[in-house]
């Protein structure tokens, strides 16, 4: 009995911060400590959220956002991971060392500064936004992939070679599994970046999507809608993170190094 009570108490403590936060969110605006127009109470936000969900617009915007981000992320992975593997392992070390300063500089270039350039090249359509997401995602993915390939224990590679494994087998059976956890970490951090940039790209020039909802709400001063969209964005971000974790645990069904 005491054990159950302790568990309940422990859970309660863990959750009490969140409960307190939501409590504050509900009552501080109502009490007038913060202007109710600027930060609406939680109940109003949730009401708006329900409204958005029930009339289908939530689904449309979420789908638009996810589509953009998904395309950008997939492109970044399709280019970043193979390139990273090539630079990390297959390419001669001098070539890779030569390229490193250039890549570091290019990776430092802010995607926002390139935004006007992308619009010039690709027009105001979808592709410019996907290009921004791609640019800001590909660098974390690339760098972590290179790191992942380079940190595979050379002992494993040498052992495989000593048994007579050829390069393809070493790649498939030693390097890929060894680098996979790090690569997935890179993909996850790339996804975080992609999501961040997605919102920015949509806020600047789009006609649908969660970022557009935020901009539109801000312009029309419909604050509950803005906060509702912000909540959806936060939850979506968490969901994407967990989804990639789920993929990671499905694909990596062995125990990676402790």
Partner 1 sequence: MESIIRKITAGSLKYGEKNNVAVFLKNITDGLRNSISILIFVAIWEIVPRVGLVPETFVAPPSVVLQTLVKLATDGVLLPHIEISLFRAVSGFVLAAMIGIPLGFFLGGRFRLFERILNPVLHLLHAVNPFSLFPVFILLFGIGEFSKVAIIFWVCLWPVLLNTITGIKNVDALLIKSARSMGVKGLDLFLKVILPGASVNIFHGLKTSCGTAFFILIAAEMIGASNGLGWLVFNAQTNYQIPKLFATTVTIASLGLFLNYLFLRLEHKLIKWKDDIVQY
Is residue 257 a contact residue for partner 1 (CB under 8 A)? no
Q: Which residues, in sequence order, are CB contacts of 58 under 8 Å at separation 6+?
A: 49, 52, 232
Choose which of 9, 238, 245, 251 interacts with partner 1 (CB under 8 A). Answer: 238
Write the CA distances from 22 to 17, 229, 256, integer angstroms. 9, 17, 39
DSSP letters spanning 8-74? HHHHHHHHHHHHHHHHHHHHHHHHTSS-TTTS--HHHHHHHHHHHHHTSHHHHHHHHHHHHHHHHHH
Kindly report the number of other CB atoms within 10 A of residue 91's CB atom: 16
CB of 199 to partner 1, least distance (A): 4
138 Cα distance to chain centroid? 12
Q: Which single residue is written with the structure tokens 């393809």?
A: 168
Is residue 89 a contact residue for partner 1 (CB under 8 A)? no
Measured from the CB atom, the residue of 174 and 217 that comes closer to partner 1 is 217
- Binding piece for partner 1, criterion CB under 8 A, among 45-53, 165-173, 216-224, 244-252: 216-224
Q: Which single residue is written with the structure tokens 């390939």?
A: 149
Measured from the CB atom, the residue of 68 and 160 that comes closer to partner 1 is 68
Is residue 120 a contact residue for partner 1 (CB under 8 A)? yes
Is residue 211 a contact residue for partner 1 (CB under 8 A)? yes
Choose which of 8, 33, 63, 234 interacts with partner 1 (CB under 8 A). Answer: 234
Q: Which single residue is written with the structure tokens 């994407």?
A: 240
Is residue 157 a contact residue for partner 1 (CB under 8 A)? no
CB of 146 to partner 1, least distance (A): 6
CB of 50 to partner 1, least distance (A): 19
- Binding piece for partner 1, criterion CB under 8 A, among 47-55, 65-73, 104-112, 163-171: 104-112
Is residue 180 a contact residue for partner 1 (CB under 8 A)? no
- Residues 46-75 touching partner 1, rule: CB under 8 A, are none
Measured from the CB atom, the residue of 8 and 173 that comes closer to partner 1 is 8
Dist CA 174 CA 171 (whole Å) = 6
Dist CA 219 CA 184 (whole Å) = 38
Dist CA 107 CA 145 (whole Å) = 14
Question: Could you list the residues that contact partner 1 (CB under 8 A)?
Answer: 13-18, 20-21, 38-39, 97-102, 104-105, 108-110, 112-117, 119-121, 143, 146-147, 150-151, 195-196, 199-200, 203-204, 211, 214-215, 217-218, 223, 226, 229-230, 233-234, 237-238
């Amino acid at each position: 009995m005491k054990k159950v009570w302790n568990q309940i108490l422990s859970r309660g403590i863990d959750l009490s911060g969140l409960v307190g936060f939501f409590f504050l969110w509900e009552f501080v605006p109502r009490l007038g400590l913060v202007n109710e127009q600027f930060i609406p109470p939680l109940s109003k936000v949730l009401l708006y959220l329900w409204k958005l969900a029930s009339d289908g617009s939530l689904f449309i915007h979420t789908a638009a956002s996810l589509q953009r981000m998904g395309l950008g992320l997939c492109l970044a992975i399709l280019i970043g991971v193979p390139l990273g593997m090539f630079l990390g392992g297959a390419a001669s070390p001098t070539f890779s060392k030569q390229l490193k300063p250039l890549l570091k500089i290019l990776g430092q270039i802010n995607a926002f500064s390139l935004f006007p350039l992308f619009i010039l090249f690709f027009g105001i359509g979808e592709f410019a936004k996907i290009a921004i997401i791609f640019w800001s995602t590909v660098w974390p993915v690339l760098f972590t992939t290179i790191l992942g390939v380079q940190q595979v224990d050379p002992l494993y590679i040498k052992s495989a070679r000593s048994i007579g494994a050829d390069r393809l087998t070493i790649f498939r059976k030693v390097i890929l599994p060894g680098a996979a956890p790090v690569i997935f970490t890179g993909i996850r951090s790339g996804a975080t970046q992609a999501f961040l940039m997605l919102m920015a790209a949509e806020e600047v020039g789009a006609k649908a999507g969660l970022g557009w909802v935020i901009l539109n709400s801000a312009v029309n001063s419909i604050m509950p809608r803005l906060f509702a969209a912000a909540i959806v964005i936060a939850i979506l971000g968490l969901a994407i993170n967990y989804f990639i974790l789920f993929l990671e645990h499905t694909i990596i069904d062995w125990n990676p190094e402790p």
